Amino acid sequence: MVPVARAGSAAAYRADVEGAGASPLRLERFASMTPGDRRQLVWLTTAEPPGLYCANESDAVATLVCAQYAEGLYAYDPAGTAVTPSLAKRCAPNPELTVWTCTLRSGVVFHDGATFDAGDVVATYAVQWDAEHPLHTAEDGSSAQFGAWFGGFLNPPSTQP
C-alpha cells in the first residue's frame, strides 16, 4: 500500500464556535475560540498526555495541551503552517548568526499579573538548557527532546537512574 495522503488534524467543532480552525500541525489554539453562548469549550482527545514538561514533549497529545498554556516568542498560525510573531514582535540575528536580538511585545502579563520581560525569556531558556537548574524538572530527567532539538545541554542530565 502507498498512502496518498495523511490527515493533519482530526479536529471538529460545533457550528457556533467562533474562531474555530483545524491546524495542519495539530496545534489548535483554544484561547482564540469562543464556544457560542457557552462558557466552556469541551475537548476530547485520544489519550492522557504522558507529561507536561513542554520543552521535552514530543507526544501529539502533550504537544496540543502545551500549546494551550505555553506561548513562545514565535508561533504557528493556528489554521496553517506560517510562523508568526507571538511574544516577540520580531527577532533578528547578527551576521555570524551567533546572537539574536528580539523585540518583545509590550503589555504582556502572566496569570498572576506579573509583567513579561526579557528576564523571563532568559530564565525560560536557562531552565531548559541547564539540567542542573533547580527548576529543570523533566519527568524522567533525560530531557531527550530538548537535547535533540538544540544539540545538547549545559550540565547534561545524568543517565543514571
SS (H, E, C) 70-129: CCCCEEECCCCCCEEECCEEEEEECCCCCCEEEEECCCCECCCCCECCHHHHHHHHHHHH
Return the sign of the alpha-carbon dihedral for residues 141, 142, 145, 149. positive
| Cα separation, 24 vs 27, whole angstroms | 8
Q: What percent of the chain has pLDDT over 70?
A: 86
Angle at 149 between CA 147 and CA 152, to 5 degrees: 30
Q: For residue 40, tell me if it sits in a domain.
A: yes
Within-domain flag for 78: yes
Residue 115 lies inside a defined structural domain of this protein: no
- Give the three-class secondary structure for 67: helix
Residue 5, pLDDT above cutoff 50: yes
According to the model, what pLDDT value does residue 120 have? 94
Whether residue 44 is contained in a domain is answered as: yes
Kindly report whether the global pTM for this prediction surpasses the value 0.85: no
Among residues 24, 18, 19, 150, which one has the least CA distance to residue 10?
Answer: 24
Q: How many domains does the chain have?
A: 1
Span 6-40, pLDDT tens digits: 556 677 888 999 988 888 877 788 888 899 898 88
In 3D, which of 153, 147, 161 has the Cα closest to residue 132? Answer: 153
Indicate whether 142 belongs to any domain. no
User: Does the residue 25 lie in any domain?
Assistant: yes
Q: 3-state SS of the chain: helix, strand, coil percent to 5?
A: 20, 15, 65
Is the confidence at residue 108, as pLDDT, over 90?
A: yes
Inside any domain, residue 6: yes
Mean pLDDT (the chain) is 82
Residue 69 lies in a domain: yes
pLDDT confidence tier of residue 161, bands split at 50, 70 and 90: very low
Range of the domain at 44: 1-86
Check whether 160 has a pLDDT greater than 50.
no
